[in-house]
């Protein structure tokens, strides 16, 4: 095989690798993390590295619209979307609930059309007026808005438990100091938690563009690598092996064909 042919094959292999590295370096920006609790220094592979310990939302146990006692601890490995409402709200809550419903239906459509498993997402809507919003009341509200209890829980329980969670765990007061206080939580913010219960974003639930961005972000988080799992160069390149092999084969066939053709013309 000539030097030119060998060079052509090397280029054929290098091109997809080059674009892979560019995509890996400048790919889609993942949603950030909120509220670092501490920074831990460790020795890894003989080098000193620092890891940020992010705020992990604590467990909460409430009742859903089916009267079942449920908790965050039941949702291990799931991305969680949380908002707050009350059933007799006539301002932002109906808009917020409808937009959440659109998100629920949009994920179901992705599941049906593209074969994407959407069971990794759980919606939670917590009432901020539990004295009025009993289980039967939130069940009627859920039925009215077409809420699927398999993926979306409307939750009620002790007011102090819900408010402590909103203020101290989700830290909604830091995002919306106007609509959130210890007396009444009335905000359109939706919080996004990853599978480790770390807050990854806040979105205005009455803004359709923000809700669409939320839909994209939760899929990105689903595809996010588990930092606890070690990755190797081979595992990184494995998805490219088939296209690289195909390009390599085509270039080789082309080089051999034109080399033989050139030799025949010379004879």
Using a 10 angstrom Cβ sphere, with 0-12 exposed, 13-18 middle and 19 or more buried, the burial of residue 164 is: middle
- Buried b or exposed e, range 90-124, using 16+ CB within 10 angstroms: eebbeebbbbbbebbeebeeeeeeeeeebebbbbb
User: SS3 breakdown of the chain: % helix, strand, coil, rounded to 5?
Assistant: 45, 20, 30
- Any bridge partners for residue 156, and if so which? 63
Q: Say if pTM beats, i.e. exceeds, 0.85.
A: no
Q: Provide the percentage of residues in the chain whose pLDDT is more than 70.
A: 69
Per-domain boundaries in the chain: 3-21+237-266, 57-223
Structure token digits, residue 168: 């101290």
Q: Over the chain (267 residues), what is each successive 10-residue block's mean pLDDT?
A: 53 49 53 82 78 92 98 94 96 95 80 58 96 98 95 97 96 88 90 95 94 88 61 47 59 62 59
pLDDT of residue 237: 47
Q: Which CATH superfamily is domain 57-223 in?
A: Glutaredoxin (3.40.30.10)
Cα–Cα nearest to 175, from 154, 158, 189: 189
Structure token digits, residue 105: 């239906």
């Amino acid at each position: 095989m000539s030097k030119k042919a060998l060079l052509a094959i090397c280029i054929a292999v290098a091109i997809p690798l080059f674009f892979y590295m560019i995509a890996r370096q400048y790919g889609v920006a993942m949603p950030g993390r909120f509220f670092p609790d501490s920074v831990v220094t460790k020795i890894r592979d003989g080098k000193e590295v620092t890891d940020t310990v992010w705020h992990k939302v604590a467990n909460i146990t409430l009742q859903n619209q089916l009267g079942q006692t449920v908790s965050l601890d039941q949702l291990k490995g799931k991305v969680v979307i949380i908002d707050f409402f009350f059933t007799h709200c006539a301002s932002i809550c109906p808009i917020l609930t409808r937009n959440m419903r659109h998100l629920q239906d949009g994920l179901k459509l992705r599941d049906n059309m593209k074969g994407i498993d959407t069971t990794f997402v759980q919606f939670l809507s917590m009432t901020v007026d539990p004295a009025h919003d009993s289980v039967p009341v939130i069940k009627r509200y859920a039925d009215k808005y077409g809420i699927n209890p398999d993926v979306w829980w409307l939750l009620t329980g002790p007011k102090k438990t819900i408010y402590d969670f909103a203020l101290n765990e989700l830290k909604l007061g830091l995002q919306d100091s106007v609509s959130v206080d210890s007396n009444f939580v009335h905000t359109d913010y939706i919080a996004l938690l990853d599978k480790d219960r770390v807050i990854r974003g806040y979105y205005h639930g009455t803004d359709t563009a923000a809700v669409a961005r939320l839909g994209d972000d939760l899929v990105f988080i689903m595809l996010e690598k588990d930092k606890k799992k070690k990755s190797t160069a081979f595992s990184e390149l494995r998805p490219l092996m088939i296209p690289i092999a195909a390009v390599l084969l085509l270039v080789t066939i082309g080089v051999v064909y034109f080399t033989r053709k050139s030799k025949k013309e010379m004879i």
